[in-house]
Chains A and B, each alone.
Chain A
Amino acid sequence: MIMDYVAEILQGSPLAVSRVITWLENEDERARVLMKEIYSHTGNAYLLGITGSPGTGKSTLTDGVTWQFRNKGQTVGIVAVDPSSPFTGGALLGDRIRMTRHSEDPGVFMRSMATRGYLGGLAQFTRGAVKVLDASGKNYVIIETVGVGQDEVDVMRVADTTCVVLVPGLGDVIQSMKAGIMEIADIYVINKYDQPGADQLYSEVQFRVNQDASIKDRAWVPPVIRTVAVEGKGEDDLIEAIAAHRTYLEQSGKLLEKRRERTREETLQMIHHELFRIIRARLAENSRIESMVEKIMDHELSPYNVVEEVVGEWLPPAK
């Protein structure tokens, strides 16, 4: 039955793609079996990340970029991530509203997802969903996330090209530019460029980018693109910038380097999570972890001893 799903995904069946993403969301065992089968069919899609604070117009931009890709005959998969409420566990996933004009286009598949509280981290899930869309034959996969926290930065490492969206009036530019965003931004987008303060924001970002580029002597200086997404203004410039970055990555060999780095990181993380999952499950048997905690609390044992003991049971000591 799982092999049927594999075949259907490779044929691009939206039903199969959708169901398998649900398995990934639920950390369902079936997902793992299936992912092994489709892995060899991934790596063809170009991965684009779009991130920014709430209210910056990301989904409108995603919609515009998708429209442009479709006009060039490219198919598009979209994974739009919105936060779950830490209190109720529920989520309002509002990105689909902006994508109405693609809703009956078979060349576009869009999936909204909530951050939930993934044991394996949000990034791991997103990578899985992206691979499924990739294997289903989409030319581009767009990953859209809200916010600028560490989780989002990790998610954005999945992308080949990352666009960071800023708007005038939110006042968090400097803040966000410090928080690791500088490292991941390949393109800056100043959206809502028709609003007051846009020019100032533009020069501010441009200044920081130049400063940063000169210090690090980077070969790619992130361009700063001005858009009014609701009116479709600046979409062409953004598409051009994305294409330029892609060309740069491909011609300089950086794309492979980037993907190699990503694969390394991803593999280590997956091993980490899998080991953690197994050990955690085993320690839960017979409430062994509970008795350990009690002993540590009573100072009968130190946590350091416990680590050695537990890890030593299954793994030879590191040299």
Chain B
Amino acid sequence: MAEKKIKIIVAKPGLDGHDRGAKLLSRIFAEAGMEVVYTGLRQTPEMIVEAALQEDADVVGLSSLSGVHNYFFPKVVELLKAKKLANVLVVGGGIIPLEDIPELKKAGIAEIFGPGTSTEVIVDFIRSNVKAK
């Protein structure tokens, strides 16, 4: 059997156009040996989940800087479950107040990475939390 690769969808939900972090991390994930599908801007939760489904992703990484995380992130988790993709690891990043994190985790987002997080920390987290298919 060939070596398994971690496949990750990097997505920008909503209308926010700040994609520096999303693009940077896409490159860092690829350098860490992952297969990265970057979806681009203006993604609805439905589009992100459809991408996760068709790509059979292990991980969905969401980036938001416009303050819409409380709406979008849980919605993505909910739709993943509805599509029988509960095993997909969902992580998020961007401008997200620390006090929002407990609620987001309760909604099923595995981890939230705020500004200034070392990219190694993010890569390590994904590697050790990705679930078997």
A residues whose Cβ falls under 8 Å from a Cβ of B: 14-15, 18-19, 21-22, 25-29, 84-85, 88-94, 96-97, 100, 103-104, 109-114, 116, 118-119
B40 touches A97 (CB 8 A): yes
| 17 sample A-B contacts, Cβ–Cβ < 8 Å, listed by A number | A14-B53, A15-B85, A19-B56, A25-B5, A26-B2, A26-B4, A90-B33, A91-B36, A92-B26, A96-B40, A100-B42, A104-B46, A104-B47, A112-B55, A114-B35, A116-B2, A119-B2
In the assembled complex, which residues on chain B have CB atoms less than 8 Å from the CB atom of A94?
Answer: 38
- Of B1, B33, B40, B42, the residue contacting A88 (CB under 8 A) is B33
Quote the shortest CB–CB distance from A280 to chain B (angstroms). Answer: 14
Given contacts A15-B84, A90-B30, A92-B30, contact A100 B54 (CB under 8 A): no
Please give, as numbers and ranges, the residues of chain B lying within 8 Å of A19 by CB-CB distance.
56, 133
Contact (Cβ within 8 A) B39 A97: yes
B86 on the A face (CB < 8 A): no
Tell me whether A118 and B40 are in contact (CB under 8 A). no
**Contacts A26-B2, A114-B5, A116-B5 known; A18 to B33 CB distance under 8 Å?**
no
B2 A118 Cβ-Cβ under 8 A: yes
- B interface, CB within 8 angstroms of A: 1-5, 26-27, 29-40, 42-44, 46-47, 50-51, 53-56, 83-85, 133
A52 to B35, CA, bound (A): 22
Q: Which 6 pairs between the two chains have the least Cβ-Cβ distance?
A: A90-B30, A97-B40, A27-B2, A18-B56, A103-B47, A22-B56
Contact across chains for A91 and B53 when beta carbons are under 8 A apart: no
B1 engages A111 (CB within 8 Å): no
CB-CB nearest in chain A for B52? A18
- Contact partner of A29 (CB less than 8 A), chosen from B1, B3, B50, is B1
CA separation between A253 and B33, bound complex, in Å?
46
Chain B residue contacts of A113, Cβ below 8 A: 35
> Judging by beta carbons under 8 Å apart, are A25 and B2 in contact?
yes
Minimum Cβ distance to chain A for residue B102 (Å)? 31
Q: Which of B3, B4, B42, B54 contacts A111 (CB 8 A)?
A: B54
Give the shortest distance, in Å, between A62 (CB) and chain B (any CB): 15
B30 proximity list for chain A (CB < 8 A): 85, 88, 90-92
CA distance A111 to B83 in the complex (A): 17
Residues on the A chain within 8 Å of B38, using CB:
92-94, 96-97
Beyond the given pairs A88-B33, A103-B51, 11 more chain A to chain B contacts, judged by CB atoms under 8 angstroms and listed by A's residue number, are A84-B35, A89-B5, A90-B34, A92-B26, A93-B55, A96-B37, A100-B42, A104-B44, A111-B54, A114-B5, A119-B2
User: With A90-B36, A92-B38, A96-B37 as given contacts, are A15 and B51 in contact (CB-CB < 8 Å)?
Assistant: no
Known A-B contacts A15-B84, A91-B35, A111-B55; A100 and B1 likewise in contact (beta carbons under 8 Å): no
Q: How long is the Cα–Cα vector from A25 to B5 in the complex, in angstroms?
A: 9
Give the docked Cα–Cα distance between A91 and B5 (Å): 10
Q: Is the CB of B54 within 8 A of A93?
A: no
Cα A85 to Cα B34 with chains together (Å): 10
CA distance A90 to B31 in the complex (A): 6
Once the chains bind, are A18 and B35 in contact (CB under 8 Å)? no
B55: chain A residues at CB < 8 Å are 18, 93, 96, 111-112
For the complex formed, measure the closest distance between the CB of A119 and the CB atoms of chain B, giving whole angstroms.
Answer: 7
Cα distance A85–B54 in the bound complex, in angstroms: 22
CB distance from B6 to the nearest CB of A (A): 9
Least Cβ–Cβ distance between A273 and chain B, in angstroms: 13
A103 to B40, CA, bound (A): 12
Contact B33 A14 (CB under 8 A): no
Q: Contact at A28–B36, with CB atoms within 8 Å?
A: no
Find chain B residues with CB under 8 A from A110 CB.
Answer: 54
**Cα A89 to Cα B29 with chains together (Å):** 11
